[in-house]
């Protein structure tokens, strides 16, 4: 198992990136398992003040809240592979911090 400490921003962004993927049924089945881990529970949403504001958009109050999530090695590798291949990351220090964290967790 790989343990990741993700901020609210990191967790929401990874969920969005993985959720936007297209592929064959085998890939979708693998993605669903990772998405199940990344998805915020109702209690977690409440803890960070998360709110869906429109189709595909959300806001939250506690960007730097830390969540500990556990992924199987295969799930972690899939998450990293897709996140690295994603071509629409914003030019932001938050992105660099996220990838530094993912590299350190290997």
pLDDT, residue 27, reads 94
pTM: 0.90
pLDDT, residue 86, reads 93
As a whole number of angstroms, the longest Cα–Cα distance in the chain is: 36
Please report, in tens digits, the pLDDT of each residue of the chain (106 residues total).
999 999 999 999 999 999 999 999 999 999 999 999 999 999 999 999 998 888 778 889 888 899 999 999 999 999 999 999 999 999 999 999 999 999 999 8
* CA 105/CA 32 separation, integer angstroms: 21
All structural domains of the chain with their residue ranges: 2-98
pLDDT, residue 106, reads 80
* CA 104/CA 95 separation, integer angstroms: 14
Please list, residue by residue across 35-52, b when 16 or more beta carbons sit within 10 angstroms of its beta carbon and e when fewer do.
bebbebeeeebebbebee
């Amino acid at each position: 198992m790989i343990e990741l400490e993700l901020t609210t921003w990191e967790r929401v962004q990874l969920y969005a990136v993985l959720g936007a993927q297209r592929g064959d049924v085998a890939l979708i089945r693998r993605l669903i398992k990772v998405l199940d881990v990344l998805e915020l529970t109702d209690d977690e949403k409440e803890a960070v003040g998360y709110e869906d504001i429109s189709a595909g958009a959300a806001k939250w109050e506690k960007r730097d809240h830390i969540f500990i999530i556990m992924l199987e090695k295969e799930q972690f590798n899939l998450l990293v592979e897709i996140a690295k291949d994603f071509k629409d990351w914003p030019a932001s220090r938050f992105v660099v911090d996220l990838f530094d964290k993912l590299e350190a967790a290997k």
